[in-house]
Copies of this chain bind each other. A is one copy, B any other.
Amino acid sequence: MHDKMNHELNPRISADCVIFGFDLNTLNVLLIERETVVGLDTYKALPGDLIFEDEPLDTAANRVLNELTGLEDIYLEQVGAFGDPDRLSKPQDRAWLKAVRQDPDARVITIGYYSLVGMNNYVPQPASFARAATWIPIEEIGELAFDHREILDGALKKLKEKLTVQPIGFNLLPEKFTLSQLHRLYEAILGVELDKRNFRRKMLKMDILESLEERQEGVPHKPSQFYKFNEQKYHDLLKTGFDNFGF
């Protein structure tokens, strides 16, 4: 303590959410399009805002996400804290902050979160002061506001790691899905090609998918079989077999 007192920080805290969606073809991220203050241009940002006093971080992330996009009750996983003192200092960002924040010069430390949702289940609701919340294919996302690009990259990295360690990603698909769709999802997230036969073998051996009687209809090729995710078996598996990797 002692002589440090007057240096102590008095910052704001925000939560920013990286929401991944999958349209059965490419991976998308839910972004807010903001009007730049000067005029015609828009620029993109993650849905995020300051958190309230006495509000737990996870709760805040969910509230903020809901306010900006309409999404509700999403399981959000933390990416980490981003607190570079210069993270709000790009001119465009400063202009926006001045227009919208009570104390635009305050340092803001943000907690990044990420989650996966099915794009089908959900059509974004533009909120009051966001121009629009929209799904953007991940390869088309360039620069973002603040350090949001860094947060996005961090989230994607965590998502990849998680995917290689345990089968997640079912949230990204509709309830009934085909193995090809799941295959494409894995390729989209990991950004690599995966051998079709080996992928299927491995997936099925895990014994967490249930094949349905149903098949695709009206497609101009051999119809694909539908599967669904068996949550029960998945949780059984998590408890037994997933701790022992490596050794």
Using CB atoms and an 8 Å cutoff, list the residues of chain A in contact with chain B: 1-2, 4-5, 7-13, 50-57, 78, 80-85, 100-102, 107, 109, 111, 128-129, 161, 163-165, 186, 190, 192, 194, 198-199, 202, 245-247
> Is chain A's binding surface mostly helix, strand, loop or mixed?
mixed
Question: When the two chains form their complex, are residues A81 and B80 in contact, meaning their CB atoms are under 8 A apart?
Answer: yes
Question: When the two chains form their complex, are residues B10 and A12 in contact, meaning their CB atoms are under 8 A apart?
Answer: yes
Question: When the two chains form their complex, are residues A85 and B107 in contact, meaning their CB atoms are under 8 A apart?
Answer: no
User: What residues of chain B lie closer than 8 Å to A109, measured between beta carbons?
Assistant: 13, 57, 109
Question: When the two chains form their complex, are residues A9 and B13 in contact, meaning their CB atoms are under 8 A apart?
Answer: yes
Question: When the two chains form their complex, are residues A11 and B8 in contact, meaning their CB atoms are under 8 A apart?
Answer: no
User: What residues of chain B lie closer than 8 Å to A190, measured between beta carbons?
Assistant: 247
Find the B residue at minimum CB distance from A54: B85
User: What residues of chain B lie closer than 8 Å to A8, measured between beta carbons?
Assistant: 12, 50, 52-53, 102
User: What residues of chain B lie closer than 8 Å to A9, measured between beta carbons?
Assistant: 12-13, 50-53, 55
The CA-CA distance from A9 to B4 in the complex, in Å, is: 22
Q: Which 3 A-B pairs have the closest CB atoms?
A: A164-B246, A57-B83, A7-B52
The CA-CA distance from A129 to B4 in the complex, in Å, is: 13
User: What residues of chain B lie closer than 8 Å to A111, measured between beta carbons?
Assistant: 81, 83
Min CB–CB distance A76 → chain B (angstroms): 12
The CA-CA distance from A81 to B55 in the complex, in Å, is: 14
User: What residues of chain B lie closer than 8 Å to A192, measured between beta carbons?
Assistant: 247
Given contacts A10-B12, A245-B164, A246-B165, contact A100 B1 (CB under 8 A): yes
The CA-CA distance from A40 to B122 in the complex, in Å, is: 59
User: What residues of chain B lie closer than 8 Å to A84, measured between beta carbons?
Assistant: 56-57
| 7 other A-B residue contacts (CB within 8 Å) besides A4-B50, A164-B247 | A9-B12, A9-B51, A11-B53, A54-B85, A56-B84, A164-B246, A190-B247
Question: When the two chains form their complex, are residues B54 and A5 in contact, meaning their CB atoms are under 8 A apart?
Answer: no
